[in-house]
Structure 1
Amino acid sequence: MDTKTIIGIAAGVLTAVSTLPQIVKIIKEKKAQAISPIMFFVLLAGNALWVWYGLFLKEWPIIITNAFSVLCDILMIVLNYKYAKK
């Protein structure tokens, strides 16, 4: 594996797991008042476009890490609506 691929995988993994601490916090506290759903819709759109771009290039690191990010974004949106103040 070349250096450029390793850097790409590392960057993708770090980006993909960046929302996990927030997801865990929301699940534990059952509160999501401080979360902006609009931000996660924008992030979801951006990550989905990265997946599409990765598919065009046939670059699995881009596809896999951003697909995981898409799932995390969707989970954050669901948690936001589930635990937001009514």
Structure 2
Amino acid sequence: MNLEWVGYLAATLTTLSFVPQAVKTIRSRDTSGISLGMYVVFIAGVACWFGYGVVLGSWPMILANALTFVLAAVILGLKLRHG
């Protein structure tokens, strides 16, 4: 039984859960409530999950973490610029 759909569902839900906060932060440019240390560690973790997905050839992991990395990197950039 191929359960890869569970991976796609999990990847979609976790990535989508991050989008509203990313959009709000990008629009407002307000990063005062964001921890710089947390975002640095978070992006490192997302990069590791992306790499692990590549090694496994797991498209749900690759796609979700690539998108999450981009969104988080934009927020980190805003934090560094405006924070």
CA shift, 1:25, in A, is 1.6
Post-superposition shift, 1:66?
A: 0.8
Q: Does 1:15 align with 2:18?
A: no
Q: Which amino acid is 1:32 matched to?
A: T
Could you say which residue in structure 1 is the equivalent of 2:51?
Answer: 52
The amino acid of 2:52's aligned partner reads Y
Match of 2:80 in 1: 81
Q: Secondary structure at the match of 1:65?
A: helix
Asked if residue 64 in structure 1 is aligned to residue 63 in structure 2, the reply is yes
Which structure 1 residue ranges, 5 or more long, are not aligned? Answer: none
Native 8 Å contact 1:30 1:83 kept in 2: yes
Q: Distance in 2 between matches of 1:19 and 1:71?
A: 11
CA RMSD of aligned residues (A): 1.7
Amino acid at match of 2:46: N
Which runs of structure 1 show a deviation greater than 6 angstroms over 4 or more consecutive aligned residues?
Answer: none
Structure 2's unaligned 5+ residue stretches are: none
TM-superposed deviation, 1:82: 3.1
1:33-52 per-residue CA deviation (whole Å, 9 max, x = no partner) reads 00112111111111111111
Distance apart, 1:18 and its partner CA: 2.3
Q: TM-score, normalised by structure 1?
A: 0.82
